[in-house]
Amino acid sequence: MMTAEQYEESLRRLNLVVYMFGKRIMNPVDDPMIRPSMNAVAKTYEMAGRPEFRDIMTAISHLTGKRINRFTHIHQSREDLINKTRMGRLMGAHTACCFQRCVGMDALNALSIVTYDMDAEYGSSYTKRFLKYLAFVQENDLVCDGAMTDPKGDRSLSPSQQPDPDMYLHVAAEKPDGIIVRGAKAHQTGAVNSHEIIVMPTISMREEDRDYAISFALPSDAPGITYIMGRQSCDTRKLEDNPMDVGNRTFGGHEALVVFDDVFVPWDRVFMYREYEFAGSLVEKFASYHRQSYACKTGVGDVLIGASQTIAEYNGAHKASHIKDKIIEMNQLNETLYCGSLSCAAEGHKEPSGTYCVNTLLANVSKQNVTRFPYEIARLAQDIAGGLMVTLPSEADFRSPEIGKWLEKYYQGAPNVSTENRMKILRLIENLTLGTAAVGYLTESMHGAGSPQAQRIMISRQVNMGEKQTYAKNLCGIKDETKP
């Protein structure tokens, strides 16, 4: 396993083509806008090296028998799935942001199932290819970007019906030694902090879409790949010299648009090639795993609840019954999210490949709650924090020899608490509910791992309605529905 320092050094060896604010970023690792997101991924390495977190953060590879980072592991039991949920919460609590590495783990696990299923159907040899690739990822302790979301163009049209054929990533040409691919993947979490990109289709496909039914892996700096960094609310505060105003000084997440401009993929890295019948299965498996992964938000919720209790104390309001009740409400919502992620793991099952997969219905119910509860938790946090969270002057004013004394005096809360500490915790709540971390805690909770409607469709498909109706009819004595 790599250390956090080795991970950082490994990123420096990549030759990524990254753009931000219209300019090429030659050194993303040290860029002040990107670095906090690198720190968050580096934390997945640091935590794996700490003995107290070993059981949660690491696992034994079923391929080699060696201890590996759990983010590269293929789940071998329900306990593995449960530990994955625990890991997400733990990492969320230690970073208070999206730590990005789950998408690759979820892509590897989904592919371990679907490559096996395709081989069983077609007699192909995808499993062998995939396991060779998996061994490489595990051995080198790599970060993989799990790239699913295509730009999608006109949503009423299928991939092959789009006026611009590149709106879904597709095969542009076939060569003796591999394929040429063209298209893009949008909203790619942690893309610039990744060693590898694992591409998957974004929706179920029909025969006419077969050129779009592809999955493959590439080094993140393969020729023809360009990253265009997404903006986040309040992001340029990271460029100022007022660390207190950032709220979370160390950690953050990032998303990027990844463009594949006629990129070559050798055959040994192609894991699905025009098997359109299995595109939907790959999407469903990845989405279910990633919906479980949203246990991360429970960990971020832990931080926000802790910050809310702290500001209540700093304001001298913590003994008020309505504040106590709001904190209870936040905890109840947050633990409900945890219950959802744990339950889909505990009800997991073994796939024919041997990989353990979460319960699809429960994973979708869990993620549906994630599209709602963090917003309510954030609303309560803002209620408890008070308006000062958004009217607070900058750290520079606080440090000013002329006016700093006024801020010190008038922003004093409880007498035993420094004004500076009160400002720091307010900025953290601002960061989590309105600033850069709100991307991860709120909007990503809404749209990450699929927007709410995607989960509702899955819930309606997975629920056994016939069984429910039978229970009801049996209990009230309905036997024959045909009229005499």
- Per CB under 6 A, residues contacting ligand SF4 are 98-100, 102-103, 189, 293-294, 296, 440, 444, 448
Q: Is the four-CA dihedral 88, 93, 96, 101 of positive or negative sign?
A: negative
Q: Write the DSSP string, 95-121.
A: HSS---THHHHHHHHHHHHHHHHHHHH
- Residues forming the active site: 98, 102, 189, 255, 290, 294, 296, 444
Q: Write the DSSP string, 7-60.
A: HHHHHHT----EEETTEEES-GGG-TTTHHHHHHHHHHHHHHT-GGGHHHHEEE
Q: How far is the CB of 322 from ligand SF4 (least distance, A)?
A: 31
Residue with smaller CB distance to ligand SF4, 189 or 310: 189
Q: Determine the Cα–Cα distance for residues 188 and 193; give it in Å rounded to an integer.
A: 11
Q: How far is the CB of 157 from Fe ion (least distance, A)?
A: 26
Residue with smaller CB distance to Fe ion, 340 or 448: 448
Q: Determine the Cα–Cα distance for residues 132 and 216; give it in Å rounded to an integer.
A: 13
Residue with smaller CB distance to ligand SF4, 100 or 360: 100
Q: How many CB atoms lie within 10 A of CB 55?
A: 13
Q: How far is the CB of 106 from Fe ion (least distance, A)?
A: 9
Q: How far is the CB of 333 from ligand SF4 (least distance, A)?
A: 17
Q: How far is the CB of 290 from Fe ion (least distance, A)?
A: 6
Q: Determine the Cα–Cα distance for residues 370 and 367; give it in Å rounded to an integer.
A: 5
Which phi and psi angles does 186 have, rounded to 5°?
Answer: -100, 160
Q: How far is the CB of 290 from ligand SF4 (least distance, A)?
A: 6
Residue with smaller CB distance to Fe ion, 196 or 255: 255
Residue with smaller CB distance to ligand SF4, 149 or 293: 293
101 neighbors 339 (Cβ within 8 angstroms): no
Residue 95 interacting entry, from Fe ion, ligand SF4, none, C-beta within 5 to 8 Å by type: none
Residue 162 interacting entry, from ligand SF4, Fe ion, none, C-beta within 5 to 8 Å by type: none
> Under the rule (CB under 5 A), what is the footprint of Fe ion?
448
In terms of Cβ atoms closer than 10 Å to its own Cβ (0-12, 13-18, 19+), residue 229 is buried
Nearest residue to Fe ion by CB is 448
What stretch of H or E contains 272?
Answer: strand 270-273
Residue 52 neighbours by CB under 8 Å, 6+ apart: none
Q: How far is the CB of 301 from ligand SF4 (least distance, A)?
A: 12
Query: What does each C-alpha distance from 59 to 54, 56, 64, 83, 108 come to in angstroms?
Result: 8, 8, 11, 9, 15
Strand 349-350 and strand 67-69: the pairing is: unpaired
One-letter amino acid at 120 equals A
Q: How far is the CB of 385 from ligand SF4 (least distance, A)?
A: 24
Instruction: For tokens 């995808």, name the residue.
Output: 126
Residue 115 interacting entry, from Fe ion, ligand SF4, none, C-beta within 5 to 8 Å by type: none
Q: Determine the Cα–Cα distance for residues 61 and 315; give it in Å rounded to an integer.
A: 50
Residue with smaller CB distance to ligand SF4, 85 or 382: 85
Residue with smaller CB distance to Fe ion, 62 or 254: 254
What is the separation of C-alpha 156 from the centre of its chain, rounded to a whole number of angstroms? 27
Which pair of structure tokens corresponds to residue 196? 């590898």
Residue with smaller CB distance to ligand SF4, 301 or 440: 440
Query: What does each C-alpha distance from 459 to 194, 206, 313 come to in angstroms?
Result: 32, 22, 41
